[in-house]
Amino acid sequence: MNKTIKLLEKLSNGHGPTGFEGQIRQIIREEITNPEISIDTDGLGSLICKIEKDKQSPKIMLSAHMDELGLMVRYITEEGFIKFQTLGGWLDQSIVNQRWIIMTKSGNIKGVTGIKTVHVMTETERKQIFPKDNLFIDVGAKNKQDAEERLGILPGDPISPDSSFEFLNSDNLLLGKAWDDRVGVALLIETLNSLDSKKLPNNVFGSCTVQEEVGLRGAITSSYTIAPDININLEVGVAGDYPGMNPNLAQEKVGAGPSIFLHDSSMLPDKTLQNYIENIATKNQIDLQYEILAGYGEDGSMYQKSREGIPSINLGIPTRYLHSHNSVIDLNDYKIGVRLANLILDDLSGEKINNIKNKLD
């Protein structure tokens, strides 16, 4: 198994619900092997990685969020079942009858969201979506005391989806949890590891943010910590290439290359930066996809609104079945994304950054 696959597997299998990203922070520290990169942590927990040539050169920031959707233990019933609070934007039907990892102080505890068997449901119940507030996690406890004392489960413990990385009957399709946004984190890591400060025309920062799924919080703090001149946010794109989807909802296709977000509910990209990246892609025969979404929201929007306004854009890796236990990406899309990110960093001089900031095509 090559380094890229090992990295993607390690990040996907890692447990880091939003607000509890410590395990992923440690993985990133281990996987950034470029000796020229220094790594700090801001007050909220985002990792700040940098190659700083000198204080006068412009700062380009790559960003990706390390958190994933999760749950939190709300309380334990007298019978020993776990009631929970969602962390991030879950569909209620995505939570039913799934396996989970409860991350206690003494170790991981497995659990499964229970549901009434169809054999005893009424006709009405069989047709309804079961709201999350009616759901619970079965951890095999005899009662509340057993869950607390033997299993060590307490209110506030984070809960992560339990779903393992694997190839989906293909050399390219990768099935796993948390591609949103571990695929962006992997892209950031591989890009930073390939950099050589002697060849860089500027300073490069990598921001691995926390708590994106509950309000883009890490992007706010890291924008002030780094104060970049340019932001390229590495995200998942919303694939629309499977039954039930259509181009009015999402336009990306898995396997057709990385994407640029042209619109979502939180931002419009910097047009001059968009033109620049399109030119780089064209010169290097890289096909780009475009995404126009009615909803969505991501860290790039916070960078765009921070400080005096940071020119920002989202580069996406098309992903199927977002915000669930199992999502699918294409390895070739990812590899092209890494290549494009490196081409941009190698080319983006101080003069070009100044032109982008001043809207000079």
**What single-letter DSSP state applies at residue 52?**
-
Render 268-308 in DSSP notation, one character per residue. ---HHHHHHHHHHHHHTT---EEEE-SS---HHHHHHHSTT
| Residue in 294, 305, 277 with CA at minimum distance from that of residue 219 | 305
The span from the CA of 159 to the CA of 86, in Å, is 9
Look at the block and give the residue holding tokens 């779903």.
Answer: 163
- The Cα–Cα gap between 224 and 30 comes to 25
Strand partners for 61 = 205, 231
Omega into 181 within 30° of 0, i.e. cis? yes
Report the distance separating Cα 311 and Cα 231, nearest Å. Answer: 6
Active-site annotation holder among 212, 235, 291, 298: 212
Look at strands 289-292 and 158-161 and give their pairing: unpaired
Report the interhelical angle of 331-347 vs 271-283 (nearest 10°).
Answer: 110
Catalytic-residue membership of 212? yes
Q: Both tokens of residue 290?
A: 């475009």
Beta bridge partners of 330: 173
Is residue 32 within 8 A of residue 193, CB to CB? The reply is: yes
DSSP codes, 108-164: EEEEEEE---GGG--HHHHHSPPPGGG-EEE---SSHHHHHHTS---TT-EEEE---
Tokens of 348: 């983006």
CA atoms of 17 and 289, how far apart (whole Å): 29
| Backbone conformation region of residue 209, classed left if phi is above 0, alpha if psi is from -120 to 50, else beta | beta
| Residues catalogued as catalytic | 212
